[in-house]
Amino acid sequence: MPNGDIHLTSRVVSLLDIKAGDSIQISYDNDEVYIYVHMRQAINDNIAGIARRTSKTTGYLRVRWTSLCRKIISMDGRANFAAYRVGEPYEINGLKVLPIITRKNYAAERN
């Protein structure tokens, strides 16, 4: 969302075992974009990407990170917000990552 909200679906939360208080990070490698857990139970609230519970739906988490949202939205440029699917998790250098499939912005398809 343009306001900085990143909604993590229950599938993403489950695949990466993200808990409220964990910090996520996005990484780029060539043309691939990955999401992964950067820090478990981050103590410092100034760290970007800390997952918070949502009151609406069980299993979903929300992250507030405005600069990352703007970057992700601008990758496509056809909509004011972005919605991407993820692939299957795998490991890179012992770190569990989830590829973000950026070739199709489902938010742009709804407009």
Residues 5-51 pLDDT 10s: 888 888 888 899 888 888 888 888 888 888 888 878 876 665 667 77
As a whole number of angstroms, the distance between CA 99 and CA 13 comes to: 14
pLDDT computed for residue 48 by the predictor: 63
Q: How far is CA 85 from CA 10, 52, 53, in A?
A: 12, 20, 20
Q: Which residues contact 52 (CB under 8 A, 6 or more apart)?
A: 20, 61, 62, 63, 64
pLDDT computed for residue 96 by the predictor: 92
User: 30, 36 in Cβ contact below 8 A?
Assistant: no
Query: Nearest-CA neighbor of 53 among 11, 2, 86, 7?
Result: 7
pLDDT computed for residue 88 by the predictor: 92
pLDDT computed for residue 19 by the predictor: 87
Q: Which two tokens stand for residue 84?
A: 């991407």
Q: Which two tokens stand for residue 93?
A: 């250098």
Mean pLDDT of the chain: 79
HSE at residue 13, side-chain half, CA atoms within 13 A, is: 21
Q: What share of the chain has pLDDT > 90, as a percent?
A: 7
